A = this chain, B = another copy of it.
Amino acid sequence: MNASGASWVPGARSAGGEGKSEGFGLANLPMGAWSGEGRGARLGARIGDSILDLHRCVESGVLARLDRRIQDALAKPVLNDYLGLGSTAWAQARAELQRLLGETCGELRDAAVAKDALLPAWGITMRLPCDIGDYTDFYASIHHATNVGSMFRPTNPLMPNWKHLPVGYHGRASTVVASGAAVRRPMGQTVQADDGPPSLTACRLLDYELELGAVVGGQANEIGQRVGVAEAAQRIFGHVLLNDWSARDLQKWEYQPLGPFTAKNFITSISPWIVTSEALAPYRVPMPARGEGDPQPLEYLRWDDDFLLDVRLEVAISSAPMRERGVPAMVVSRSRGTDLWWSMNQMLAHHTVSGCRMRPGDLLGSGTISGAGEDERGCLLELTWRGTKPITLPDGTERKFLQDGDEVILRGWAVRDGLPKLSFGECRGIVLPVA
């Protein structure tokens, strides 16, 4: 094991990675899928400035110490088979990759395949890491739920169920895309008055939502079989950044009584590198104690070792004119994985309480992560308080909601004193005009 060690790969000569590769050292080693350099869809691990082509590694025999089934899974174009192998196999593969990439190991470094298996990270295209069977979005930040609730129900911002269960809804798997995909402004039914009549218009209140995503792995539970909180922690392979793009005007008109639909299903972006649960283990923070008067979770949602992740999150926005002039995107809010009320493990456990089957490659979103502060609000609906407090970009223009040409960039780092930072990379999307 070389979990905190240095690597011989450029940009990863310290455990945390350096320069533009900061956060991509050996302590991170996230996994994803990519194509480019004349190679079709393949799996890869990010290390420093490079991507390790896992298909090429398997093919060349560099990973021959791993079980054949692990090698076979790593040679696939998507992570689903690998996800299905479960946490023991994940740990074996990670340990072997860390050994091979560690500064004291020459096996891969000195092999003929090395220069072919390590590619510059900047020259390739990242893809969706897995085929997503089902995508579910939660609503697990109390600051977000309270802020949004208070806009629509001032006297009763949190529903009675909110502190008892992680509220969630089924999202749309077919429109989950990897960072970088364009975001077409949607059309939809919108109304001027609360009770209509509606008209078909371009969305006027386009928003982002800053979320963490969890990628499910392990053997699928049978229909009817529940997954406990501790077991859920074993089922979560890793985490990504997730932007749950939202059309607020469509949402307001359509969402009752069955929840958001066309307001959410037009696109959902995720960062392409899955930061593994194993890499994130040292960045766990115990669940905060519930406040006085707050209900304790029911037994099936309790686990003494349950945790949140100390991931520092930020949202940055740039307008098209800013990018033309080389003005960096402006960070508009910051929040943290520890701002969640429910853990991802609790979300997964609750998801299965009635017996729902979770398959390798399923995706869970945390819901918008907002902190307590006014500059910690993870979507424009909250940040501009429904458009009543616009923000001003460096180009002098105001934003209540997103305009065509705006780019939204989510960023994240796992942080802990004395440990290297782990980067989640970025989740980007530029808003295109309605088609």
Contacts and interface: CB of A to CB of B under 8 A. Distances in A.
Contact of A354 (B139, B223, B262): B262
B359 A174 contact: yes
Contacts of A250: 354
A358 interface: yes
Contact of A295 (B197, B357, B359, B362): B197
A50 to B, nearest CB: 30
Interface in A62-86: none
Interface in A285-302: 295, 298-300
Contacts of A194: 160
A257 B255 contact: yes
A259 interface: yes
B354 A186 contact: yes
Nearest to A167: B258
B261 A169 contact: yes
B354 A199 contact: no
A254 B161 contact: yes
A248 to B, nearest CB: 12
Given A256-B159, A257-B259, A266-B223, A354 B187 contact: yes
A38 interface: no
Contact of A298 (B133, B200, B259, B351): B200
A92 interface: no
Interface of A: 133-134, 139, 149, 159-161, 164-165, 167-175, 177, 181, 184, 186-189, 194-200, 203, 220, 223-226, 247, 250, 253-263, 265-267, 295, 298-300, 350-351, 353-359, 362, 435
16 contacts: A161-B253, A161-B254, A161-B256, A167-B254, A167-B257, A169-B261, A170-B265, A174-B356, A186-B224, A187-B226, A189-B353, A199-B298, A200-B298, A200-B353, A263-B354, A266-B355
